[in-house]
Structure 1
């Protein structure tokens, strides 16, 4: 299942060369990112085309999301990509809450003949870019108020800047390549200490 909030935060990632890459550096990147998540966002997302305004709105929201993720992982350190430029908590909350409020949502009760009653959200009408930021903000609110927040971590592997949800008790890194990179770094550090000592 796609976690839109975590996916949005993960558009800031290690570039493989010691730096940071931004998957949303241009409108084309946002267009691709949204279309790849059309199943989670809704039918409108399959034909979504980003412009500079939509990109600015989503990256502004992402800054708020990453600031809230940094707060959620405390007392552990935030992602290295954010450590020196986190938004203040009130501003991060305002960005998320304002984006979520852009599109009214009403619960709609459904009940199949051979099933249980269920509530599904029915969203008001708005431009696709507004639907996008509202959906991402609501996904962030759901994530941060749900059970997965307790397992949110910042990857501590060298050069990694991702947040991830810890899948099992011993998981320390977001993916196996980060685990390998950390293991190599520890080995190098021990070798260096042995040579110096």
Structure 2
């Protein structure tokens, strides 16, 4: 049985970072929703609209999985630096840049006014990595100040809040944080 990823749909880069998450709070366990080439294939299939420029998903292998996990670690490291008001580490910047350089695409307008992409790289996994890295660079360059780390105990998720006061990635984390705050008050006799 696969666990439903808690926070998705804000952008490819955040979806990838949040594909590793904790179930059960501070005593929980780490879930990696792209823990195998097959799970990565499912993850890509769920984002077929966002990955459409990469073409029809092909079979993904261990090399694709390793590249995407390295990309995820770089995006997570960059976001961690940003939310803590630090500079993004040079290794994370290099990984993002290297992934963007993996494939080049040319946008072609057809005579029936539809868009077609021509790629320098025939492999779907490589093209998908390039699109995710491109999205991460866009997120970091244009919207980084809007990204927040969830404040719930034990949560490792990042999100873009839909309201100014939102500080948790989900209602589950909000409930966990309120319960923890209530428990601290009870322990302190407040």
Shared fold per TM-score greater than 0.5: yes
1:44 Cα deviation from its structure 2 partner? 5.4
Q: Which runs of 5+ in 1 are unaligned?
A: 77-87, 114-119
Matches within 5 A, 1:29-178: 29-42=39-52, 46-75=56-85, 89-106=89-106, 122-126=117-121, 127-146=123-142, 148-178=143-173
Q: What displacement does 1:27 show?
A: 1.1
User: Where in structure 1 do 4 or more consecutive aligned residues deviate above 6 Å?
Assistant: 109-113
**TM-score with structure 1 setting the length:** 0.80
Q: Cα gap change, 1:192/1:152 in structure 2, threshold over 3 Å: closer, same or farther?
A: same
Kindly provide the CA deviation profile for residues 97-133 of structure 1, in whole angstroms up to 9, marking residues without a partner as x. 01101111345579999xxxxxx79452321111011
Q: Alignment partner of 1:143: what SS?
A: helix
Distance between the aligned counterparts of 1:23 and 1:45, measured in 2? 22
Q: 1:107 to 1:42 in 2, by over 3 A?
A: closer
Following superposition, the deviation at residue 74 of structure 1 comes to 1.5
The number of equivalent residue pairs is 178
SS at 1:40 equivalent: coil
RMSD after superposition: 2.6
Gaps of 5+ in 2: 1-8
- Over residues 122-179 of structure 1, what are the superposed CA-to-partner deviations in whole Å (9 max), with x where a residue is unaligned? 4523211110111111011111111x32110111101111011121111111111111
Give the alignment's TM-score, normalised by structure 2.
Answer: 0.83
CA distance in 2: counterparts of 1:110 and 1:2, whole angstroms? 30
